[in-house]
Structure 1
Amino acid sequence: MARVTEKIEARGHPNIKANHKTTFEFTKDDFVTVKGDCILAVKASKAAVDLSLSFKRLASSELARIIFIIEVDGIIELAVGRGSRSLTFTDETAIVSRKSNYVCPKTVMINSNKAAKDFDRVFIEHLRNHDAKVNITMIVES
């Protein structure tokens, strides 16, 4: 079994709502409006386009399993989903995970077991701290 890991650093923001029913997102933008209800963190060190070629290749398979490990203030949340040959990894500002199998340039994982609303609310409270450091590990296996 092949495995590739990506590490991303991001920050929290007071406007994080995390109540979207089908997606979650990390953005390179340094802000989030109250309408950005899928965003979990800002100032991300990578967007979809920045992921390594080896990650993209492995994730571009229907057999790929993708795991997000998201940590803030010692609290860890996991999300698990799938890759797809339809993933393009071309967006320059964000990374999105979806419960559905819909794909756009931001999408890096489909058929996720979680959307923003599914994350623990204590975890989300910590993400609302502007100074919070968010560590994201993405693992793809196939």
Structure 2
Amino acid sequence: MGMSVTISAASAQDAEQILKLQYLCYQSEAELYGDYSIEPLTQTLDDLRAELDRGHALVARLGGEVVASVRGEVDATGTAHIAKLIVHPRMRRHGLGGRLLDAIEQHFADGGAPHAKRFQLFTGHRSERNLSLYRKKGYEAVATRQVGPRLTLITLEKAA
């Protein structure tokens, strides 16, 4: 009998597993853009812990293993900045990323303090799977910013 994936708030004890998963998940993005110095691959455990303390993070677990995660925080304007939606490569294409995105939006729209008026996230211009998921979930491109010769970031947003 298989185990089911559960989604819950991340705790400080999850930081190490999240960082290892983040490193694994962003290898494909680094390869896609030819840049292994991207922030998700260079973030330290201390930086991640500080990020978790500032905002809210969710993890998806399969048994005791963290197999997916997302985090975000709401700024003074009511914008929930959603970041680092990651899913273990073996767990992709099963709807887990969409479930996590829905769950963090729900947290910030209903129970989170401060309350979100809009959701915003970004991804690279070549990250078609990410762009497809975000558009399917109602996000629309609101800005682009070239950050290097091979990478343009697309900012997407939707109302809460």
TM-score (norm 2): 0.26
Relative contact order (C-alpha < 8 Å, sep 6+): which is higher? 1
TM-score (norm 1): 0.28
Q: Which has the larger radius of gyration?
A: 2
Higher helix proportion, which one? 2
